[in-house]
Chains A and B, each alone.
Chain A
Amino acid sequence: MAEPLPDEPKHVETKALILLVAIGALIVAFFLYVMYARGVFQETQTLTLVADDSEGVIPGMDMSFAGFPIGRVRQVDLGQDGKVNILVDVARDDARWLRTTSVFTLERSVVGETRLRAYSGILTDPPLPDKAQRPVLRGDAAAEIPRLLATARTLLENLETMTRADSPIGNTLANVETLSGRLNGRYGVLGTALGGDAEAAQLLQTLRRVDTLLAKTDQRVFGKQGVMDDAQGAIQELHGLLADARTTLQKVDGVLVEAQAVGANARVATQDLGRLRGEVDASLRKVNRLVDEINRKWPFKHDTEIRLP
């Protein structure tokens, strides 16, 4: 109907056009937003994670680093070798958190979705290249529960043993308490080290005596007319004595020189005595020969022949 009806509102066509344009713009904006949210306009690099089991992994799930989502699973497929290949799109801006030494884990919790996480221990390592392939470590909370329970039970039993009243740790703690009580006591570390306050008091008394003794000694040794003064006088006297001794020794030295000369003379005399002795021996032999000559001759002749019966 071309002509407007009498009860028709004003500017119907304009309003309809505005509505069409507005709703059209809204739809386009919504699609652009969803595409942006899906990372269509984001530059990405691909990372392939190889796992044994793809359970819980769905396209579109996030891969997080330190709790921040940095990548999104694009595709999950089964490779020729029977391993699961998980293709992850990582935004180029966030790819700097992934290094060649990064570790990837797939964790299944009891409640909630499976999580894909990346850990980079050394951020100074070379960055992860595009189209890299990495194994993914699988952590299954449900599978871990029985082992965890067994370990927890042992742990709790040990804990119970440790916290019993008569347990070694309890005794040790009691000793530590006594020790700390003693440390806080009157004699502190000294009493603790010696084993009691009485001993510590004795030691202190002894120390006081030693102190008194030292004071007295100081007075007697280094005080006026003390041992040190006497010692100094004695040393001076000793100096005099030593000078006298040196003079005496010089004299002795002279005497020895003279004695040496006497000795030389005595040696010469001894040599003369040897010659004299030779002469005396020669004389004696001559006398002896003379006596023998006399004996052979008259009247002192002996018959030397032996006659047998």
Chain B
Amino acid sequence: MPLSSLLYVKPSHWGRHAARYLRSWWHMLHLGAVALVMAMSPSTWRRDIRLATSRYIHASTWQVLPWFTLLAALVSLVVIRIVLVTAQSYGLSRYALEMVVRVLVLELIPLSAALFAALRAGMAFDAGAMGLARSGVPVELATEQTLLRLRRDLVPQVLANAFSVLSLAMASSIVVLLLAYLNVYGLSPWGLGDYTRTVGRVFDPVVTLGFVFKTVLFGLAVAVIPSAAMLETLRYGQRFRSNVQPGALRLLFVLLLIEASSLAVKYI
């Protein structure tokens, strides 16, 4: 339940709504923790789970990686050209490469990868569960098979989504790094030393750790929040008041929060 809905309820019910709101967040964190622990316990790694994980990775990464990378490369190419041409016109071309790496590789690519994976995960989410929730049927009446499938596929789905964000971000980042080099130095290999030095200057230990940490957090958020929202919906049998996919707003909020925190840590 969104916090803004508190404005439309009676003040006497505020406490109850706030408690439900906090419980919802707690439920999400708890689910994330459980999923992580299950992912790390050897007993989880049965043949069927492995297969399910493979199936989800195939769906969330293998199928979208080429297209996402191509799209990211095209958009990045435009941004790189704009930055380079603008920097050259101001005589600041030596800062262009650093800016491209900082803006694209460190900020835009991971964020777009997370949004893309979230969109994809939301779309791929079990339509059966969705339909069940929307119909407002109490959870007891849900088919046994649907609930079983939801519970069993939780860990593979979380892992696959997290991996999807990580791989989309990494692959696109490396393609963008290559594109930036080609745009600045052309096909000549003689800019490699200078380029390596610039990359080394940008990726100092704090920035590198922040980049990795941010990408992993993006992955976890994308993996956990929609699943948690969906399970919560099923658990409490809530009826949807809007057509927005459950957890979408919360996911957007968390992603922006992670991005803003990362920027604040790096630049403030």
Contact = CB atoms under 8 A, between A and B. Distances in A.
B196 A23 contact: no
A23 B51 contact: no
The interface centre, meaning the residue of A4, A37, A62 with most chain B CB atoms within 10 A of its CB, is: A37
Interface string B194-209: 0011011101110010
Given A23-B171, A27-B170, A16 B54 contact: yes
B51 A2 contact: yes
B196 A12 contact: no
B196 A37 contact: yes
Q: How large is the interface on A (under 10, 10 to 19, 20 to 34, 35 or more residues)?
A: 20 to 34
Given A19-B167, A23-B170, A60-B204, A33 B199 contact: yes
The interface centre, meaning the residue of A16, A31, A33 with most chain B CB atoms within 10 A of its CB, is: A16
Nearest to A4: B51
Contacts of A61: 201
A69 B65 CA distance: 38
A37 B203 contact: yes
Given A1-B52, A1-B152, A19-B62, A69 B197 contact: yes
Interface string A12-53: 110111011001001100110110111100000000000000
B50 interface: yes
B46 to A, nearest CB: 8
A8 interface: yes
Given A9-B58, A37-B196, A38-B200, A2 B166 contact: no
B47 interface: yes
**Main SS class of interface, B:** helix
B50 A30 contact: no
B199 A34 contact: yes
B61 interface: yes
Contacts of A59: 204
A232 B197 CA distance: 99
A16 B203 contact: no
Nearest to B201: A60
Contacts of B61: 19
Interface residues of B, number: 33
A61 to B, nearest CB: 7
Contacts of A72: 200
A217 to B, nearest CB: 81
A196 B54 CA distance: 107
A30 B174 contact: yes
Interface in B34-79: 47-48, 50-55, 57-58, 61-62, 65
Given A1-B48, A62-B197, A12 B54 contact: yes
A15 B50 CA distance: 13
B8 to A, nearest CB: 43
Contacts of A34: 199-200, 203, 208
Contact of A16 (B57, B149, B166): B57
A34 B58 CA distance: 29
B218 interface: no
Contact of A23 (B58, B149, B163): B163
A69 B174 CA distance: 25
Top-5 shortest CB links A-B = A37-B200, A16-B54, A2-B48, A16-B57, A23-B167
12 contacts: A1-B48, A1-B51, A1-B152, A13-B50, A15-B54, A19-B167, A23-B163, A23-B171, A27-B166, A37-B197, A37-B199, A112-B92
